[in-house]
Amino acid sequence: MTAIPQRVRAWDWFMNRFRSMHIATMNPADIAHNQTMKHVPAPVRRVLFGARDKRVTVDDRTIPPAPDSTSGIPIRVYRPRASALPLALRASAPSSAASPAPSPRWSARPASAPSPAESRANSPIAPAPPSSAGAATLPIALYFHGGGWTLFGGLDMCDWLPSRVAAELGAIVVAVDYRLAPQHPFPAAIDDSSAALRWVYANAAELGGDPARLAVFGDSAGGNISAVLSQLARDESAAAATPAPRIAAQALIYPVTDTVLDDPSMIANAHSPVLHRADMAAFFDYYLGPDLSSPARMDARAAPLRAGSLANLPPALVQLGAHDVLHDQGLAYANRLAADGTEMLLITYPEAPHGWVTYPTIMRVATRAADDLVTFLRTLVG
């Protein structure tokens, strides 16, 4: 197995020196601070968590609350600047949107030689169908941040990846600031994210996007939310008498797919950089409650691997770190997708632990992984 880079190990050493850097050792005040990180000066946040891509503009809004909630849902809408679009598109594009370049077939190289199980999981990805909208609309993607459904809320915390995807893909990207545990436990995050998906679908034209080219992506807990929404949208679309959101692509970046804590990668990577096994136990306790036999821990909206079927889901990209506690459950989800007939591409980054989206300036794999993500999305919705 490829070694974890020294700069990442140095960051891990630093994190382990402070109680407030791991959820397993945080007190309530630490959690409150780390939900927005407003106590960290903006220049430091940009250095640690990555800066917003200068090729986009942003529009912060608050959309209507989810059912059974009174809290509006903050979102940030990223749009590529006209100067970032191909010359052929600039003249016909409105100030906030333009059509993307023609999409090539998927051609990204694997990040490493896959294991036999990973090879079996890989399936070809077909190109996107022609757009159903006019020439001046863009693909649209919803982004859900990580942080164990508990940390890293606040739209300033998640600028790097959604802004990069918007610029590189030429897409409208909507980042969703869903409610966080422990104040808002399961299923609040899913309820808010589902409400945001429905709102974006209904308002795609006003945003300058094409609802027929709608994708979801997210990292860690956000990957979990993206997988869950893909299942819920499939089921709702099959049962609905009226039009329901149809997701064309899902990208799951080191996703949480189950609530187990004893698979081999959980044990082997229990103290790997950024995310420890004890941290996952704490996240589950805050989000799902401390009762290990709780029905919430078996609910497919918390553990999408436990769904009865993964058939008829949107084509999926699953990106994993070889040194991540979540590696095995992500691999299990990828294998289930393929076994149930859903198109799937799996990429494992051999030097990576958890968290390259959170710390893109520290983990150099982040740029390579983001490029693979954009290539995948361009194939399906570009």
User: pLDDT band at 154, cuts 50/70/90?
Assistant: confident
Active site residues: 220, 324, 354
Higher pLDDT, 119 or 59: 59
> Rounded to an integer, what distance in angstroms lies between the CA atom of residue 272 and that of residue 323?
7
Task: Read off the pLDDT of each residue in 35-57 and give the average, rounded to a whole number.
Answer: 91
Dihedral angle computed from the Cα positions of residues 75, 76, 80 and 83, in that order, rounded to the nearest 10 degrees: 150
What pLDDT is attached to residue 84? 64
**What integer pLDDT is reported at residue 329 of this predicted model?**
98
pLDDT at site 127: 56
Which residues on neighbouring strands pair with residue 345, listed in sequence order? 317
Q: Which of 219, 75, 48 is nearest to 140 (CA)?
A: 75
* Whole-structure pTM value: 0.91
pLDDT attached to residue 97: 39
Residue 185, number of CB atoms within 10 A of its CB: 18
pLDDT band at 86 (very low <50, low <70, confident <90, very high): low
Q: Would you state the CATH architecture of domain 6-381? A: 3-Layer(aba) Sandwich (3.40)
Displacement of CA 254 from its chain's centroid (Å) = 9
Residue 130 pLDDT level (bands cut at 50, 70, 90): low
What does DSSP say about strands 56-63 and 138-144: parallel, antiparallel, or unpaired?
unpaired
> Is 325 in contact with 281 (CB distance < 8 Å)?
no
Sign of the CA dihedral 134, 379, 129, 216?
Answer: negative
Angle, CA 282 vertex, CA 278 and CA 284 arms, to 5°: 115
d(CA 101, CA 98): 10
- Tens of pLDDT, residue by residue over 216-267, are 999 999 999 999 999 999 999 888 666 789 999 999 999 999 999 999 999 9
pLDDT, tens digit, 9 for 90 and up, residues 160-215:
999 999 999 999 999 999 999 999 999 999 999 999 999 999 999 999 999 999 99
Phi, psi of 80 (to 5 degrees): -70, 135
Mean pLDDT for the chain overall = 89
Give the integer Cα–Cα distance in Å for 150 and 145.
11
Copy the structure tokens of residue 284: 């589950």
